[in-house]
Amino acid sequence: MTVRLEDLPLRDDLRGQKPYGAPQEPLAVALNVNENTHPVPADVADDIAESVAKSISGLNRYPDREFVELREAFAEYLGHGIEADQVWAANGSNEVLQHVLQAFGGPGRTAMGFAPTYSMYPLLVRGVGSEWIAGTRGPRFELDPEDAARQVREADPDVVFLCTPNNPTGTALSLDVVEAVYEASRGIVIVDEAYFEFSPDDGASALTLLPGRERLVVSRTMSKAFAFAGARVGYLAADAAVVDALRLVRLPYHLSAITQAAATAALRHSDEMLRTVDEIVVQRDRISATLEALGYDPYPSGSNFVLFGGVDDPHDTWRRLYERGVLVRDVGIPGHLRVSAGTEDETSAFLDALARIGDE
């Protein structure tokens, strides 16, 4: 007898929900999950491998529960006067956000974001038994400080998510939005800067707003600009008291010795690891310009991807690109698709395939 999910004594609030999942297909050009498609530089990979090898001899012991060396490395990388006791890390930024929600969300509490935004937020929120509240954006997916603050005051959530640059739209937020939302909120405000390194040079980080704002959290990841998605390392900066709160909910020894060694080694080479960012930005802007020339409607992006509208049948276009060996993302916004900026060759493959589809 085959047991179905609905036959199990699942929590009522999880019934009918679907897990997060983007297609993982062995296509030559995979531009659907906003990875950095450039490999880790060979000399950096060698140093990471050496660091990991040294950690292996001690795997009979638990890792440093407080991952002090890694937190110090993150604090140095972030700058802005941030100290190691203000830094937290986990297995990807999703786990970092989950820790925040476990500490400050939970049953009977609410969390809010501005749709469309990162699809994991509602799943993480429901996973801790909280209610998700979807705010709204402007016609070009922008957020106005006054309107965002008004929505937060009316919803009165316990946690607010601000994603900048926003996934899946690429929209960057001004610090005015962050400040307005923080002042309008009584709870934790999370500024998710997963794609910050791809922002324009004049892009200001919410890290500058941390002093004096004990409810503000700034989340980052090594998955994107650092080309470290497979290592699963995310982190945040906040008031040291917030970090203390996260210790209450984390699992013991949640960051393995191997993860700590690999991430610390990668941070030693942060300048080299980030050298591909400029090239990716060139390809992102090339995608936007070519999409516009092809008659599509690309949205301004401060990330490593482009959302574009004007797609008559997103599913059909996705399928036809797939048949040509190119994987992009249908994010569920009618008339839109999203594509990551890859290498020059990968970008050319996408643009050539899309142009051929248009010619047909």
Query: Would you say residue 274 has pLDDT above 80?
Result: yes
pLDDT band at residue 13 under the 50/70/90 scheme: confident
For 330, the 3-state DSSP assignment is: coil
Are 293 and 266 found together in one domain? no
Alpha-carbon gap, residue 195 to 40, rounded angstroms: 18
206 in Cβ contact with 178 (< 8 Å): yes
Are 240 and 184 found together in one domain? yes
Alpha-carbon gap, residue 80 to 75, rounded angstroms: 9
200 in Cβ contact with 226 (< 8 Å): no
Are 31 and 54 found together in one domain? no
Q: Tell me, what CATH number does 147's domain have?
A: 3.40.640.10
Task: Please tell me the predicted confidence (pLDDT) of residue 25.
Answer: 80
Are 264 and 293 found together in one domain? no
Are 70 and 157 found together in one domain? yes
Are 200 and 96 found together in one domain? yes
Q: Percent of the chain having pLDDT more than 90?
A: 92
63 in Cβ contact with 256 (< 8 Å): yes
The pLDDT tens digits for 23-78 are: 788 899 999 999 999 999 999 999 999 999 999 999 999 999 999 999 999 999 99
Average per-residue pLDDT for the chain:
96
152 in Cβ contact with 177 (< 8 Å): no
Are 11 and 107 found together in one domain? no
Query: Would you say residue 214 has pLDDT above 80?
Result: yes
The pLDDT tens digits for 276-330 are: 999 999 999 999 999 999 999 999 999 999 999 999 999 999 999 999 999 999 9
Q: Tell me, what CATH number does 315's domain have?
A: 3.90.1150.10
Are 284 and 261 found together in one domain? no
The pLDDT tens digits for 216-230 are: 999 999 999 999 999
Phi-psi region at 227: left, alpha or beta (left = phi > 0; alpha = psi -120 to 50): left
Q: Is 195 exposed, middle or buried (0-12, 13-18, 19+ CB in 10 A)?
A: buried
Query: Would you say residue 21 has pLDDT above 80?
Result: no
pLDDT band at residue 200 under the 50/70/90 scheme: confident
Are 175 and 303 found together in one domain? no
For 308, the 3-state DSSP assignment is: strand
Q: Quick one: how many helices (H) and strands (E) in the chain?
A: 12, 12
Are 46 and 34 found together in one domain? no
The pTM assigned to this predicted structure is 0.96
Task: Please tell me the predicted confidence (pLDDT) of residue 82.
Answer: 98
Alpha-carbon gap, residue 337 to 350, rounded angstroms: 12
Mean pLDDT in residue range 327-339: 97
Q: Which residue, 254, 270, 286, sits at the end of a domain?
A: 270
pLDDT band at residue 87 under the 50/70/90 scheme: very high
Q: Report the domain count for the chain.
A: 2
Are 224 and 92 found together in one domain? yes
> Could you give phi then psi for residue 238, rounded to 5 degrees?
-165, 180
Q: Which residue, 218, 245, 270, sits at the end of a domain?
A: 270
Task: Please tell me the predicted confidence (pLDDT) of residue 100.
Answer: 98
Taking the alpha carbons at both ends of the chain, their separation in whole angstroms is: 49
Query: Would you say residue 202 has pLDDT above 70?
Result: no
Are 236 and 279 found together in one domain? no
User: In this structure, is the dihedral angle defined by the CA atoms of residues 186, 181, 193 and 165, taken in order, positive or negative?
Assistant: positive
The pLDDT tens digits for 101-158 are: 999 999 999 999 999 999 999 999 999 999 999 999 999 999 999 999 999 999 999 9
Q: Which residue, 235, 270, 305, sits at the end of a domain?
A: 270
Structural domain of residue 299, as residue ranges?
Answer: 5-40+274-359
